Every structure is written in C-alpha cells, then in structure tokens.
Amino acid sequence: MNTTMEELNTLPNLSTRSRLSMRRLRLPAIDYTFLIVALALLGFGLVMVASASLPTADRQFGFAFHYVIRHTIAMILGIGLGFAAFAIPMRWWEKYGVTMYFIGIILLLLILVPGLGKRVNGALRWIPIGPFNLQSSEMMKLFAVIYLAGYLVRRRTEVSNKVWGSVKPLLLISIACALIMVQPDFGTTTVILATVLGLLFLGGAPLWQFGLLLSLISVAMVGLVVLEPYRWQRLISYLNPFDPDIMYGSGFQLSQALIAFGRGEWFGVGLGNGIQKQFYLPEAHTDFLLAVVGEEFGYLGITGVLFLFAYIVWRSFHIGATAERLGQTFCAYMTYGLSLGIALQTFVNAGVNTGLLPTKGLTLPFMSYGSNSIMVACIAVALILRVDYENRRLLGGEAPIPRPIGGTTWDRS
C-alpha cells in the first residue's frame, strides 16, 4: 500500500481504475508508532477492564461481560469518531473553536435542567441519550483546548503584553469550570484549569503573570476543599489511609488500592488472579484500574503503562513543536493543550491510585471504563495525528496558501 506512483505506472496489466484504487488505498503519512502506542493502551485497557469488572458485573447484573461489551462499543465509537476527526482539516477546527466552546457551555447547562440530567452516586454529570450517557465535562476538556488554541493565535501580542490578555480567556473558561463544579466534579475542573494555565504560559504569557494566575487559582481551589466537608475528609484520609477510624470509611478505596500494589510486588500475581477487585476495591474498573494493573502485573506492569503514556506526551509535544516551526501556530497550541490534558489526567489518576494525591474521580485516559473518556481520548489522538499529517505535507514541499486567521497558513487539504 506504500507503492509509489512511479512504481504503479511500471506495473503490467493494471487498468487506470486499478491504479487509482491502489493510490486511494495508500496509507497517509503519519507517525504510526504514536498510533500503535495509543492503540496498545486502548487494547490493554480493554483487557484490564475485563479482568477488573467481571466479578462486579456478575454480582450486579448476573452477566459478567456487561462492562466489557459496553467498553468495547465505546472503543468502536471512539475509533470511528477518531477517523472522522482526522479527516477534517485543522483550519476547520480553528474556525469553529469558539462555536464548539459555547456548545460545550450549553451541554453543561442542559445537565442542570430538572428531569434531563442524570445523577449517579450523588453526582449530576450525564445527559441520557437512549442507551448512551453524554458526559458534558469530558467534551469541555476538548472544546476548551481548541478554543484557547485559537485565542492564542488571534491575541498572541495581547497575551504577551497585557494582563487582560491572559485573564480574559481564563475568566471565560472559569464559567465552564463553575458549571462543572455544580455537578460537582473537582478533578475535571482542576485538569481543565491546569491545562489552560499551561497553554497560556506556552502561548507567551510572562512568567510573573503565570505565577500570579497560578497563585490565585491555587488559593481558590484550596478554598473549595476547605469549605466542602467531604473534600476535606478525603484530604485527611489521604494523609493517613490506614488509620483504623479512616480505613473502613473515607479511606477505604485508597487503603485497598495500596494493598493491591503491595500484593503485586515486582511482577504481579498474574492476569485475572487479583483479589482486591473481587471483594474489596470499589470502582476497580474505572478510577482505580491502575491498582488492578499493579496487583496483576506488578511494578513492571505499572512502569510499562506509564512509559507508554510518557511516549504519547513526549511525541505529542514534538509534533506540536514541529507545527510551530512551520508557522502552524494553532496546530501547535492545540497539540500542546491536548498532550497537557492527557499528561495531567494520567498524573492525577496515578497519584490517586498510589496515594500521592487525595482521592478524586478521574479516569485513566485510554484505559479506564467510561465511554465519554474513551471517545474524547480517541478524538485527541486523531487531532494530534492530523497535525502530524499536515506537518509532513508541508515538510514534503506542498505549498501553503495564505489565510486571514491569526496570520498563519492553511495547507491545501
């Protein structure tokens, strides 16, 4: 499928239609190692969701593969959405970034409409659409990055020279964060705000502005923890999860996760042989999937998974840096933002599982059970690969054409 046109023309007995068909089947020029690593995380995630959820699903639904089937469907939908996202040129995403952000705001507002939003375990985060539940906050992670990447292109000078240039998008995105906090979802709010701050810094905000904004947001987040009793209790539990008064209460998840890591030791007890997921560890197939990996594959398995995530983030930043050198500023910022989001969410999830951070309900990207998280992760990978594809076209000598947005360029795709 990588046959060149010169080779096609020399092949005997090929009609013009056959040559055109072979040309259409030629694989696009993208980073296939990056794609394979992302697919490996998806595939391993499916295996671990199956291992972690079979006992729970059997007790809850009388059908052990309940979560496995739903997770598989989410993966298929995510890959399909990824193909669709990859087919859309970057200029379209830049053009409609603001529109997508306000669509995200509308979706967050719809959750609050009585009778429309779905509440699970005290959290109001989903909009039922037939058999599917739409989690608006997951979509906002994507929309916020696309919006801010476009803003940084349009207002780059203002961001670099004026405080208001950095405060303005932060205030707008804070509206979305406030709506997410109403659900409540402290973890997602933290990831979005941290991603926005990182993008503003990469977009040229002076160090003192970045430090000031970081300090203000940190104070606000600490205030939210102190003023909310259950968040404060989680913080106390995190500091001493094996305290007898805490271990069987708010520290139960963390203590059981740490026991799982301890049982796994260096090489794990083997796939499917974990004990914690069967009777002790709640949400083993979602927020605490990494603890199951630690028990069944040990330190070696955890290191391997984190290495794959590190490769995804490193390679994404490399693709973004290449786009920036080529003058594709929007593509660069969007790629930086998506990779920051993946890195931050992975860090928080791993920190929660290992007791480095207080317990928060954030899934492990690509791997944990959760249809919305899986689909957004697939779209993020597709967008990064699209940037890589357009980079390669420009490096291959295909001339860009001018465009008015941000003073950068569109390619001919």
Answer yes or no: is pLDDT of 149 > 90.
yes
Q: Is 19 part of a structural domain of the chain? A: no
pLDDT of 399 higher than 50: no
Q: Which residues contact 348 (CB under 8 A, 6 or more apart)?
A: 187, 190, 191, 357, 360, 362
pTM value is 0.84
Residue at 326 is within a domain: yes
For position 12, what pLDDT does the model report?
44
* pLDDT at 402 exceeding the cut of 70: no
Is residue 404 predicted with pLDDT exceeding 60? no
Average pLDDT over residues 133-160: 87
Range of the domain at 231: 40-393
304 found inside a domain? yes
- Eight-state DSSP code of residue 358: -
Q: What pLDDT, on the 0 to 100 scale, is given for residue 6?
A: 47
Over residues 3-45, the pLDDT tens digits come to 444 443 444 444 555 444 545 557 788 889 999 999 999 999 9
283: left (phi over 0), alpha (psi -120 to 50) or beta: left
2-11, 85-94, 124-133, 360-369: which is most confident: 85-94
Tell whether 10 is covered by a domain.
no
Residue 388: per-residue pLDDT: 94
Number of domains in the chain: 1
Q: What is the mean pLDDT of residues 291-302?
A: 92
Per DSSP, the chain holds a count of helices (H) and strands (E) of 18, 5
Residues 68-92: what's their mean pLDDT? Answer: 93
Q: Is the pLDDT of residue 366 over 90?
A: yes
- Could you tell me which residues come within 8 angstroms of residue 68 by beta carbon, excluding any fewer than 6 positions away? 46, 49, 50, 53, 54, 57
DSSP state of 12: T
Whole-number pLDDT of residue 177: 87
Reported as a pLDDT band with limits 50, 70 and 90, residue 234 is low
Confidence of residue 136 (pLDDT cuts 50, 70, 90): confident
| 191 vs 211: CA distance, rounded Å | 17
Residue 403 covered by a domain: no
* Residue pLDDT, tens place only, 242-273: 666 666 666 677 888 888 888 888 998 988 88
- The answer to whether residue 380 is domain-embedded is yes
Asked if the structure places residue 31 within a domain, the reply is: no
Rounded distance, CA 351 to CA 290, Å?
10
407 within some domain: no
